[in-house]
Every structure is written in C-alpha cells, then in structure tokens.
Amino acid sequence: AKSDGYVYNPVTDDLVQIPDLPTLAAGVLWDTWHPDRNIFIVFDSENMYTYIHIRDSIKGQRVVRVGLTKLPTDQVPLVLHSGEVTLETSGGKLNSVSLSTHATAPVAAAL
C-alpha cells in the first residue's frame, strides 16, 4: 500500500507531494529553529525520515527526502529543533537524538 502526503502552501494554494512517504507514517514534525524552518521529519515506528521543502528552484517548488535516522525503540518524537529530536521514552522520560543529516561536520569538529 502506498501513502500520499503533501505540503500545503496557503499563500499560493499549492500542494507539493512528499516523495517516498512511509506507508505507516505516525507523525510529522517541522524544525522550530528558524534557519532550518524548511526541514521536517516524518516518522513511523522504526525510523525518522528527514525532508527539505524547497520553495524556489528551477524545478519549481518541491520536497526532497535527504536522510534517514533510526528511531530508538519505544520512543515517540515530540519536538525537532536544529536537527535534534526530543523524544518521550516508554517510561515517560525525555531523550534526545541528532538526525543523521545534522551530524557534526568533520571540519567543524576539528576546530
């Protein structure tokens, strides 16, 4: 079975399809950090899929899947900020995971 999902732009009334949407998507979180406001994740019970919404390109407005991060067992994503996901554990505690797309660059790590 295939799932369809779209990003809706209320200003232009455009719908942009989300490619490779997981069949059993459980939720979507947009990044709350202003520079990453075009980044969002779709998650299912096993993975978090990172997407970027590109408003202006030579191909027009589009959404591209850019990465995959394993979801820790029995944890639910609550907030996405600057590539870091805050999750709730099955015991009600909070945990944080960095998305694979936001891992520290080797050059930055050396500084």
Higher pLDDT: 38 or 107? It is: 38
Mean pLDDT of the chain: 91
What is the distance between the alpha carbons of residues 111 and 54, in angstroms, rounded to a whole number? Answer: 31
- Residue 107 is inside which H or E element, if any? helix 106-110
Angle, vertex CA 71, rays to CA 70 and CA 72, nearest 5: 110
- The domain locations on the chain are 6-110
List the single range of 6-10, 14-18, 104-108 with lowest mean pLDDT: 104-108
Torsion (CA) 98, 100, 106, 111 in degrees, nearest 10:
-20
Number of other residues whose CB lies within 10 A of the CB of residue 85: 25
Note the pTM of the prediction, 2 decimals.
0.88
- C-alpha–C-alpha distance, residues 49 and 106, integer Å: 23
Q: Per-residue confidence at 6, pLDDT binned at 50, 70, 90?
A: very high
